[in-house]
């Protein structure tokens, strides 16, 4: 059995941190540090080398967006995945965090079950992407936030099948839905996704979604079969 994720919780509200810590601890997840601002979050990551950071955006001093950039841009081996905490489902700062390398986001009113599941899945690169809300967020801000478009990539190195997979992935399809859509095994789909991420130098599927929109491979208002949108 694999070791449980090691988590840092960064939020300026002590009650939020305590609530999340108790929920995660009850499921055997190790909260290795807490932080009340971005500077503390960066220091905690360097000190504890967690697998995951739950990062609030709006904190005094250094905010969660700048902390995310610093954590993911510094030359540390195997940087943690970062899940953004937000009160609003379409917070304009969340899109900027995704372009900076965050792996997804959670609403602060997330259910305990969803919180635990998200944290346990975060290391797989498939976390928090299937929910339609992520696609809606990207659609809303990609056309209006060119200054945050830090992930532009040349897609010419992808095969036609990889382009099809990326387009459908950006539409919100999970690996199982991709497998059914393309009549492939899930293991083959995972191989395609891994190759796409490697060729585009991306950390996970969240960044792949952003790239698909920013390069025009998929445009706002278009979906993929199986998303229900």
Integer Cα distance of 161 and 159 in angstroms: 5
Reference 146, options 213, 69, 80; nearest CA is 213
- Mean pLDDT computed over every residue of the chain: 81
pLDDT (0 to 100) of residue 56: 92
Q: Tell me, what's the pLDDT at 134?
A: 58
Given this model, what pLDDT does residue 12 score?
Answer: 95
What are the tens digits of pLDDT across the range 101-141?
A: 888 878 888 889 988 988 887 766 554 544 455 556 666 66
CA distance 23 to 12: 18
Q: Which residues pair with 33 in a beta bridge?
A: 8
CA angle centred on 4, ends 3 and 8, rounded to 5°: 130
Sketch out the chain's domains with CATH numbers: 6-128 (3.40.50.2300), 150-214 (1.10.10.10)
pTM for the full predicted model: 0.72
User: pLDDT tens, 36-95?
Assistant: 999 999 999 999 999 999 999 889 999 999 999 999 887 567 789 898 888 765 556 767
Q: Give the rounded percent of residues in the chain with a pLDDT score beyond 90.
A: 40
**pLDDT score, position 225:** 40
Arithmetic mean of pLDDT, 204-225? 73
- Distances from the Cα of 139 to the Cα of 24, 134, 142, 209, 223, angstroms: 32, 9, 6, 10, 10
pLDDT digits (tens, 9 = 90+) for 39-55: 999 999 999 999 999 99
Predicted pLDDT of residue 3:
82
């Amino acid at each position: 059995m694999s070791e449980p994720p090691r988590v840092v919780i960064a939020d300026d509200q002590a009650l939020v941190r305590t609530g999340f810590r108790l929920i995660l601890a009850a499921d055997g997840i190790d909260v290795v540090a807490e932080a009340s601002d971005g500077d503390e979050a960066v220091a905690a990551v360097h000190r504890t080398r967690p697998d995951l950071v739950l990062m609030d955006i709006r904190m005094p001093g250094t905010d969660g967006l700048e902390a995310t950039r610093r954590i993911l841009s510094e030359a540390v081996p195997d940087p943690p995945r970062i899940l953004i905490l937000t009160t609003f489902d379409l917070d304009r700062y969340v899109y900027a965090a995704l372009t900076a390398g965050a792996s997804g986001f959670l609403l602060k009113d997330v259910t305990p079950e969803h919180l635990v599941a998200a944290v346990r899945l975060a290391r797989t690169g498939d976390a928090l992407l299937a929910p339609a809300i992520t696609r809606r967020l990207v659609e809303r801000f990609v056309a209006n936030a060119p200054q945050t478009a830090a992930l532009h990539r040349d897609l010419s190195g992808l095969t036609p099948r990889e382009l099809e997979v990326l387009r459908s992935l950006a539409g919100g399809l999970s690996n199982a839905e991709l497998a059914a859509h393309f009549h492939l095994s899930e293991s083959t789909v995972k191989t395609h996704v891994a190759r796409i991420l490697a060729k585009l130098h991306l950390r996970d599927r969240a960044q792949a979604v952003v790239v698909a929109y920013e390069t025009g491979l998929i445009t706002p208002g278009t979906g993929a079969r199986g998303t229900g949108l």
